[in-house]
Amino acid sequence: MLEGRGLNAEQEKAVRTTDGPLLILAGAGAGKTKTITERIVHLVCRGVPAEKILAVTFTNKAAKEMRERIVRALNDERMLNRPLSRGALGTPAPFISTFHGLGVHILKENARVLGITRNFAIFDRSDSIRSIKEAMKQVGVDPKQFEPRRILSAISREKGTGTTAGEYEIEAGNDYFKRTLARVWRVYEQVLAKENALDFDDLLLKAVRLLQADAAVRKHYQSVWSHIHVDEYQDTNDIQYEFTKLLAGEKQNICVVGDIDQTIYSWRGANIDHLLAFEETFPGAHTVILTKNYRSTKTILSAANEIIEKNANRKEKVLVTDNDDGEAIALYGGFDESDEARHVVERAQELIARGTPPQEIAVLYRANFQSRTLEEAFLYAGVPYQVLGTRFFERKEVKDTLSFLRCALNPESSSDFKRIINVPPRGIGKVTLLKILDGKEDTLPPTMREKVSNFKNLLISIKEHALTEKPSKTIKYIITASGLEKQLLTGDDEDKERLENIKELVTLASKYDGFEPREGVEKLLEDAALASDQDSLEKSTDTVKLMTVHASKGLEFDFVFITGLEDGLFPHTSDADENRDTEEERRLFYVALTRARKRVFLSYAATRMIYGSREVNVPSEFISDISSDYIEEGEEGYRDEQERSEFLIIE
DNA sequence: ATCCCATCCATTTTT
DNA sequence: TGGATGGGAT
Ligand SMILES: Nc1ncnc2c1ncn2[C@@H]1O[C@H](COP(=O)(O)OP(=O)(O)OP(=O)(O)O)[C@@H](O)[C@H]1O
């Protein structure tokens, strides 16, 4: 049954190894994700009930794609009249999700045991930062002395290793920073608890703690899922590793897939050791190594190999392809970032003119701020594009709208209440708000009391809608009843765009119209909280994609532009420059190169505006690390040195 | 309560 | 450079 599914011998071996621990190692584009997908199809065909299969992916988008591919493949099998584990009706699907989605699932199913409510809020980064600030204020720590962002990322890192606030406090000892951190952390947890909220790390930490502490729950999930898969295993952190181990249980039907050269998240706790030590963690593991790349041209692959070979902290591995040599890698040096951007757009236009679909072109960069210049150039040239990473659900207007919904359903949520009580402005300010939160509402002047009770009635009627109407209708109601629509309609162009975004939210919400009203809005809120950068890729097809290299993980495109290849930017250098970081930068560049199927375009800018002042840059070492045989240098942005110096003088 | 403007400071990378 | 913040005027 594997014939015709387009697998090579190594991949097929991985697919057929269905029992016990299985480790699949391979370089980029060797078909790791494809192999897991086919393995799941194979398991179902062999009689494993689909709902007993679990797969963890890195993003929701990857989860969705895998689910779709599996469903499609299973339908094909059904066409061939092969009996499946279940009848055609109500086809059970495998559980495919991110680690965070999996955490939410388990926490919701066990909310009662945990003493939390089912409708807990999930705090994103900005919510968490706000809570950290609040905690710092309560504890009396100056946010100028300790940056809330740093505090949060330190806490996040700790939580990612499985540590809780109490444990950290004990370990903190006499270190001033650690003790301060411990104090803030403790109050931060109190703030979260009061809000009935969990942060991203809690979704993993609390689920793992539950599985550790409660044998019955643990056994339950170990039997719910008999076969476990984890994609991108090289980027799992300690808590995710623990999660995986707990779920695998005694049976250890666990299959992980990864490539140590593609570890690009160690800065947030990803630990390669989990992949390297797999055979020790799961004794008796089978290992399959995939060596054939199906994605890229020989040229791209050779360049990628040259790059990654320079890392010391890795295991040598083979990666070959039967594909053609393909075109040389293009290189362009612009005199500034606008010139670089203009060149990228021109080349993209050429490709599109010659028939390349725009969505087969990706423009990658190291840091988000670089997208602005590129975006301007695309806008100016009228080439359709989409920037990933400006997350839809993090836009203020969208968060506000969802806050109305959450607040209506969960009046305890004071962060939502605070957020929206005066959005749009309805004459309730700081002082009034404090009185309400203090329970001194009856001391307010009558006109103010009227305003407050109007607002509360608004929440009540939103709740009524949410419990009885379709989610999309509820959102629509929020927009009009709250006065948001009126406010934005009378505003400037930016406000009009905001209104468009909220209308887009209505469309998005309609995807949940098929559920029971309450379940629908809960799912909507959950998905909104867990959305990832890549998720917006699903819609808006025929556009060139602009994104960070991190966001391009796991994706592939015919043509890939890697921009901003300047020393200090890519590879990025910071003050605390350790070896680990420089090797990770190299891996990041390796990931960028290997996204391309047909051709790679490298570019840099000789000068770049940073913090409003013009910086002169040296081209990245990565460029010279690729042998010139593979590179074809384009003309420079300035014709000669004279023109260049004239330009610099003007600046 | 709200709005406007001056000042300050920052950029990795994200579920 | 431009977004975030806070002080002061209305
Ligand atoms: N046996 C095969 N025959 C033909 N094409 C294949 C085969 N295996 C994989 N491919 C194709 O190669 C490409 C890369 O596959 P996939 O995305 O699964 O690789 P990957 O190892 O997960 O890559 P990466 O680690 O870079 O994300 C896909 O377009 C896939 O369809």
- Return the number of other C-beta atoms located less than 10 Å from residue A124's C-beta: 18
Å separating the CA of residue A532 from the C1' of nucleotide B14? 8
Q: In what order do the strands lie in the sheet with A95-98?
A: A95-98, A53-57, A227-230, A254-258, A22-26, A286-290
Residue A69 lies in a domain: yes
**Are A431 and A510 part of one and the same domain?**
yes
Q: Which of ligand 1's atoms lies nearest the C-alpha of A35?
A: 18
Atom of ligand 1 nearest to the CA of A30: 21
Structural domain includes residue A22: yes
Q: What integer is the mean pLDDT of A396-403?
A: 89
Confidence of residue A431 (pLDDT cuts 50, 70, 90): confident
Contacts of A435 (CB under 8 A, 6+ apart): A441, A443, A444
Quick one: which H or E segment has residue A301? Answer: helix A298-309
pLDDT beyond 90 at A215: yes
Domain that holds residue A149: 121-195
Q: For residue range A564-616, what is the model confidence (pLDDT) as tens digits?
A: 999 989 888 876 555 567 889 999 999 999 999 999 999 999 999 888 888 88
- Pick out the residues of the known binding site of A for ATP: 26-33
Give pLDDT, residue A81. 53
Residue A331: per-residue pLDDT: 93
pLDDT, position A121:
86
Statement to judge: residues A398 and A520 lie in one domain: yes
* Residue A163 shares a structural domain with residue A32: no
**What does the pLDDT read at residue A635?**
65
pLDDT for the residue A137? 82
- If 0-12 CB within 10 Å is exposed, 13-18 middle and 19+ buried, where does residue A431 land? exposed
Q: State the pLDDT at residue A194.
A: 85
For residue A302, tell me if it sits in a domain.
no
Q: Which of A274, A347, A286, A366 is nearest to A581 (CA)?
A: A366
User: Residues of A comprising the binding site?
Assistant: 26-33
Final residue before a domain boundary, out of A469, A502, A534? A534
Looking at the structure, do residues A489 and A400 belong to the same domain, yes or no?
Answer: yes
Do residue A86 and residue A140 come from a single domain? Answer: no
A295 CA from centroid of ligand 1 (Å): 6
| Span A623-650, pLDDT tens digits | 999 988 898 877 655 444 444 444 444 4
| Position A639 in a domain | no
Q: Are residues A361 and A337 in the same domain?
A: yes
Rounded to whole angstroms, how far apart are CA atoms A236 and A427? 48
pTM: 0.89
How many whole angstroms separate alpha carbon A129 and alpha carbon A271?
A: 25
How high is the pLDDT of residue A639?
A: 44
Average pLDDT, integer, range A460-464: 92
Whole-number pLDDT of residue A91: 65
Domain termination residue (choose one: A474, A509, A534): A534
Which value does ipTM take for this structure? Answer: 0.92
Nearest to A64 by CA among A109, A95, A106: A95
pLDDT-based confidence at A357, cuts 50/70/90?
A: very high
CATH of the domain at A150: 1.10.10
pLDDT at A52: 92
Percent of chain A with pLDDT over 90: 49
Q: What is the pLDDT of residues A136-174, one digit of tens each?
A: 888 887 777 788 888 898 899 999 998 888 888 888 778
Question: Of A187-201, A214-228, A548-562, which gets the smallest average pLDDT?
Answer: A187-201
Pairing of strands A286-290, A329-334: unpaired
How far is residue A105's CA from residue A94's CA, in Å, rounded to a whole number?
14
Distances (CA, A) of A67 to A38, A352, A538: 11, 31, 14
DSSP state letter for A253: -
Q: Measuring CA to CA, which residue among A121, A144, A118, A103 is closest to residue A191? A: A121
User: Which nucleotide's C1' is closest to A610 (Cα)?
Assistant: C1
- Report the pLDDT value the prediction gives residue A650, as an integer from 0 to 100: 44
What confidence tens digit (pLDDT) does each residue in A298-307 have? 999 999 999 9
Q: Are residues A398 and A502 in the same domain?
A: yes
Tell me the CA–C1' distance in angstroms for A430 and B2. 11
Q: Residue A361's closest CA among A559, A554, A195? A: A559
Can you tell me the distance from the alpha carbon of A75 to that of A41, in angstroms, rounded to the nearest whole number? 10
Distance (Å) from CA A297 to ligand 1 centroid: 13
Give me the pLDDT at residue A175, please: 80
Angle at A365 between CA A370 and CA A597, to 5 degrees: 145
DSSP letter for each residue of A330-384: EEEEESSHHHHHHHHHHHHHHHHHTT--GGGEEEEESSGGGHHHHHHHHHHHT--
Q: Which residues touch strand C (CB under 7 A)?
A: A 609, 611-613
CATH classification at residue A628: 3.40.50.300
Q: Tell me which H or E stretch contains A96.
A: strand A95-98
Distance in angstroms: CA A387, C1' C4: 23
* A600: helix, strand or coil: strand
Q: pLDDT at residue A414 above 90? A: no
Domain match, A580 and A598 both: yes
Say if residue A68 is in the same domain as residue A94.
Answer: yes
**Other beta carbons within 10 Å of A427:** 10
3-state SS assignment for residue A609: strand
Report the nearest residue to nucleotide B10, CA vs C1'.
A611
Question: How many angstroms separate the Cα of A111 from the Cα of each of A117, A119, A505, A560?
Answer: 6, 9, 28, 45
Res. A436: pLDDT tops 50: yes
Whether A140 maps to a domain, the answer reads yes
Residues of A with a known catalytic role: 32-33, 231-232, 262, 595
Q: Are residues A94 and A160 in the same domain?
A: no
- Ligand 1 pocket by C-beta < 6 Å: which residues? A 6-8, 11, 26, 28-34, 259, 262, 294-295, 554, 556, 594
Q: Given this model, what pLDDT does residue A80 score?
A: 58
The answer on pLDDT for A515 being more than 70 is yes
Residue A544 confidence (pLDDT): 94
Q: Compute the distance between CA of residue A536 and CA of residue A547 in angstroms, rounded to an integer.
A: 11
In a domain, A4, yes or no: no
Q: Report which of A247, A258, A248, A321 is spatially closest to residue A288, judged by C-alpha positions.
A: A258
**What is the rounded (10 degree) CA torsion for A491, A497, A502, A503?**
110
Q: Which two tokens stand for residue A584?
A: 């990770």
- Residue ending a domain, choose from A161, A195, A229: A195
A510 domain-assigned: yes
| CB A599 within 8 Å of CB A326 | yes
Max mean pLDDT among A108-122, A329-343, A398-412 falls in A329-343
Q: What is the percent of chain A with per-residue pLDDT over 70, rounded to a whole number? A: 93
Query: Is the residue at A444 inside a domain?
Result: yes
Atom of ligand 1 nearest to the CA of A293: 12
pLDDT band at A88 (very low <50, low <70, confident <90, very high): very low
- In sequence order, which residues have a C-beta less than 8 Å from that of residue A72 and are 6 or more positions away? none
A22 and A80 in a single domain? The answer is: yes
Task: With a cut of 90, say whether residue A395 has pLDDT above it.
Answer: no
Between A197-211, A308-322, A544-558, the lowest mean confidence (pLDDT) is in A308-322
Contact A192, A131 (CB under 8 A): yes
| Stretch A223-245: mean pLDDT | 94
Position A318 pLDDT exceeds 90: no
- Residues A134, A55: one domain? no
Per-residue pLDDT of A163-214, as tens digits, reads 888 888 888 778 888 888 888 899 999 988 888 889 999 999 999 999 999 9
Mean pLDDT of chain A: 86
CATH code: domain of residue A498? 1.10.486.10
Helix then strand then coil, % of chain A, to nearest 5: 55, 15, 30
- Confidence (pLDDT) at A180: 85
- Cα–Cα distance between A178 and A161 in angstroms, integer? 16
A92 contacts: CB under 8 Å, gap ≥ 6: A49, A50, A51, A85, A86
The answer, yes or no, to whether residue A651 has pLDDT greater than 70, is no
Q: Residue at minimal CA–C1' distance from B12? A: A367
- Do residues A56 and A94 make contact, with C-beta atoms less than 8 angstroms apart? no
Q: Parallel, antiparallel, or unpaired for β A607-610 and A557-562?
A: unpaired
The DSSP call for residue A566 is B
Predicted pLDDT of residue A573 = 84
Q: State the Rg of chain A over Cα.
A: 26
Average pLDDT over residues A511-523: 91
Domain total for chain A? 4
Protein CA A116 to sugar C1' C5 (Å): 35
Residue A555 pLDDT class (50, 70, 90 cuts): very high
In this prediction, residues A116-140 reach a mean pLDDT of 85
